[in-house]
Amino acid sequence: MAQDARSIVAKWVAREHGTDRPQKIREPESGLAGTLTLMATPLNPRQRLAALQRYAALSGEDFTGQNLVSARTSQLRFTRCSFVAADLRHADLDGCSFRFCDLSGADLRGASLRGAHFAGCDLRGADLRGADLTDAGLGRVNTGRPPYGLTDITGARLEGAILRDVRHDDVIGWRSAVDHIG
């Protein structure tokens, strides 16, 4: 098979798998001309997030209980995604936007959330100890019917978190969470 045809197929496969890196392909050892075998392994959730381009939007994705330790992202936009009990320790989520996302019980210890924005999110019981929330925003989404669209951090652990210039507006449980860090 011509080299340019292999290149076209590899790029198409990469696009279908949500990555900008072409997948490796080869002709089968049986020698049948024109037949290709895909040699790509499926990306795990951490690799998939890292492969997304800057400002990519994800909607309705389910990362419940996933191992996303040290995940690296490029200012992604998450809408109605579930990170319930996900392991996001030391993840780089700088500049990411979370709207109506469920992060209840998520482990975000040591995560970098600089400039991240949470609107209408559930962070109840999330572990944010040692996380960097510099310039982060926690707020609400104007749904037209209060009290819907509020961010809730009831029971979240913030000991040792960096809260420099954090903006918070109508956040349920904010005072209680901040009072526990002394």
What pLDDT digit, counting tens, does each position of 161-179 carry? 999 999 998 899 999 888 8
pLDDT in tens, 77-112: 999 999 999 999 999 999 999 999 999 999 999 999
The pLDDT confidence band at residue 35, using thresholds 50, 70 and 90, is very low
Within 8 A by CB and 6+ apart from 37, the residues are: 25, 26, 27, 28
Q: What is the pLDDT of residue 28?
A: 45
- The answer to whether domain 43-182 has CATH 3.20.20.140 is no
Between 27 and 144, where is the model more confident?
144
How far apart CA 41 and CA 31 sit, in angstroms, is: 23
Q: Look up tokens 């009990």; give the residue.
A: 85
How far apart CA 160 and CA 40 sit, in angstroms, is: 41
How far apart CA 33 and CA 81 sit, in angstroms, is: 44
Does pTM surpass 0.85?
Answer: no
pLDDT in tens, 37-85: 444 688 999 999 999 999 999 999 999 999 999 999 999 999 999 999 9
Q: What is the pLDDT of residue 3?
A: 52
Provide the residue ranges of all domains of the chain, joining segments of one domain with +. 1-42, 43-182
Report residue 138: phi and psi, to 5°: -120, 120
Per-residue pLDDT at 32 exceeds 50:
no
